[in-house]
Amino acid sequence: MNIIEARGLSKTFKHAIKEPGLRGAVKHLFKPHHVTKAAVNRIDLTVQAGEAVAYVGPNGAGKSTTLKMLTGILVPSSGEVRVNGLDPHRQRVENARRIGAVFGQRTQLWWDIPIQESFSLLKDIYEIPAQQYKSNLDTFTELLGMEEFLHLSARKLSLGQRMRADLAAALLHNPDIVYLDEPTIGLDIAVKLKIREFILHMNQTQKTTMMLTTHDLGDIENLCRRLVIIDRGSIIYDGSLQSVKDRFAKERRIHFQLAEPNAVLMDNLERDTSIHIIQTPDKDSDGRQLCVSFDRFTISASEVTSRVMQHGEIIDFRIEEPDIEQVIKAVYERELDMSQPGTA
């Protein structure tokens, strides 16, 4: 079942163009000049109930604007969107009952009252049955380690404590779908792991659909099998994290353990234009470790291995997994053409 369905969804914003200085301000007052810019440009997106989707892209790509349209905060300029069969903006109240949202930079908790009181207010607002409320609160307190700060007000919490409380607040009413905008931003590794475990737990046990925007690749690798990349308002990739690696990680590395130091092999590799030596056997090593890199769209791993084997005996070898961080960085920096499938 599709829980999110967006077709041709767009949002444009009008930006005022002012000349600098007082003259520009006066001129703008009498003859305002605006340009219209598409923050989200005709995106199609469907998400199945129970999926965990990472929605990523460089700064200003349109991630938050998309989430705001899905939550009903912003009205789309054009296109269609349905969440749980509802129009998120027109049926905002009904939609809000069935979703949860965590925006890393803001809190939905009351600033000056104890966290447990905030939770209790949410119980009344969402009309959560007493038993469900108690069971969720107990489970969340345990999983997120909230016991020690339940009596404190949001104002007094550290960022990590507040994020845990915000996450609990967003899920207390058992929403079908939760939007998480940078849920681990600025957190230390221990809290990050706790939050990831909790998200994973809710996704797996309650089948809560998770839609997550993040710049933290650890969040993506640990939580989401599906990756949607948006750039300049358009979706440029929608697929698995693994296939991003398979299709776009150009450079591969192989680590060889040689039977013995081998000058002839090294000479041959130095002359081979498709293979680059990363780590030459030197005085510090025993001369038997060799690491080479190659462009996998130009030459295959088996061909590299066979070229090495032509000149020397190999005891062992290991192909290094491509670094997803480097791939995503290349996508953001527009070094990769996402419309071109890989050749291998």
Binding site for ligand ATP (CB under 6 A): 13, 39, 57, 59-65
What 3-state class would DSSP assign to 37? strand
CB of 187 to ligand ATP, least distance (A): 17
- Is residue 314 within 8 Å of residue 256, measured between CB atoms? yes
Instruction: Return the number of the residue (50 or 79) whose C-beta is nearest ligand ATP.
Output: 79
Instruction: Return the number of the residue (51 or 182) whose C-beta is nearest ligand ATP.
Output: 182
CB of 38 to ligand ATP, least distance (A): 8
Instruction: Return the number of the residue (230 or 254) whose C-beta is nearest ligand ATP.
Output: 230
What 3-state class would DSSP assign to 97? helix
CB of 311 to ligand ATP, least distance (A): 49
CB of 227 to ligand ATP, least distance (A): 15
Q: Whose CA is closest to 44, among 27, 12, 66?
A: 66
Helices and strands of the chain, counted as H and E runs:
12, 13
Q: Which two tokens stand for residue 21?
A: 């200085």
- Is residue 289 within 8 Å of residue 282, measured between CB atoms? no
CB of 121 to ligand ATP, least distance (A): 29
CB of 53 to ligand ATP, least distance (A): 15
Instruction: Return the number of the residue (75 or 278) whose C-beta is nearest ligand ATP.
Output: 75
Residue found by looking up tokens 């005022």 in the block: 16
CB of 104 to ligand ATP, least distance (A): 10
- Give strand pairing partners of 212: 54, 180
Interatomic CA distance for residues 22 and 46, integer angstroms? 48
Instruction: Return the number of the residue (62 or 312) whose C-beta is nearest ligand ATP.
Output: 62
CB of 200 to ligand ATP, least distance (A): 23
Q: Whose CA is closest to 57, among 338, 328, 337?
A: 328
Question: CB count, 10 Å around CB of 220?
Answer: 23
Interatomic CA distance for residues 89 and 103, integer angstroms? 18
Q: Considering only the C-alpha atoms of the chain, give the largest distance between any 2 of them, rounded to a whole number of Å.
A: 81
Instruction: Return the number of the residue (57 or 100) whose C-beta is nearest ligand ATP.
Output: 57
Q: Which residues, 6 or more positions from 172, have their beta carbon under 8 angstroms from its beta carbon? A: 119, 122, 123, 126, 128, 133, 136, 137, 140
Pairing of strands 226-231, 234-240: antiparallel
Instruction: Return the number of the residue (1 or 35) whose C-beta is nearest ligand ATP.
Output: 35
DSSP state of 20: S
Instruction: Return the number of the residue (96 or 230) whose C-beta is nearest ligand ATP.
Output: 230
